[in-house]
Amino acid sequence: MGLNILYCAALEGLEAKEVEAEISFTKALPAFQITGLAGNAIQESKQRVQSSLLANGFKFPPLKIVVNLSPSDLPKQGSFYDLPIALLIALHGHISEQDDKRTWFAFGEIGLDGRVKDTPAIYPLLFSLLSKDKNRQSFFLLPKSAENFYSKIPHLKAYYIDTLQEGIEVLKNPPILSQSYEDLPFLSEEILGEKYYFSTDFPLDFKDIIGQERAKRAAMIAACGFHNILFEGSAGSGKSMIASRIPYILPPLKGQEILEMASHTLQLSPFRVFRNPHNSATKAAILGSAVAQNVKPGEIALAHLGILFFDELPHFPKTILESLREPLQNHYFTISRLHAKITYPADFLFVGAMNPCPCGNLLSISKECRCNQKEINAYKNKISEPFWDRLDLFVQMQEGIQEKNIIASKQMQKQVLEAFKFQKRRGQDCFNARLEGEKLEEFCFLGNEVKETLELAIERFGISLRQKHKILCVARSIADLVQSKYIAKEHLLESLSFRKI
pLDDT digits (tens, 9 = 90+) for 335-394: 887 777 888 999 999 999 999 999 999 988 888 999 999 999 999 999 999 999 999 999
Share of the chain above pLDDT 70, in %: 95
Binned at pLDDT 50, 70 and 90, residue 404 comes out as: low
Domains belonging to the chain, first-starting first, are: 5-172 (3.30.230.10), 219-417 (3.40.50.300), 435-501 (1.10.8)
Q: Give the distance between the most distant pair of CA atoms in the chain.
A: 90
Instruction: Say if CB 359 and CB 371 are below 8 A apart.
Output: yes
**Which range among 181-185, 220-224, 438-442, 488-492 shows the weakest confidence by mean pLDDT?**
181-185
Using CA of residue 447, residue 450, residue 453, residue 459, what is the dihedral sign? negative
**For the segment 231-285, what is each residue's pLDDT rounded down to a tens digit?**
999 988 999 999 999 999 999 999 999 999 999 999 999 999 999 999 999 999 9
Per-residue confidence (pLDDT) for residue 98, from 0 to 100: 47
275's enclosing H/E stretch is strand 274-275
Tell me, what's the pLDDT at 205? 96
Q: How far is CA 219 from CA 16, 53, 413, in A?
A: 37, 58, 11
- Comparing CA positions, the residue from 463, 466, 465, 447 lying closest to residue 496 is 463
Q: What is the pLDDT of residues 414-433, one digit of tens each?
A: 999 999 999 999 999 999 99
Query: Kind of pairing, strands 307-310 and 274-275?
Result: parallel
d(CA 108, CA 161): 10
The rounded mean pLDDT for the chain is 92
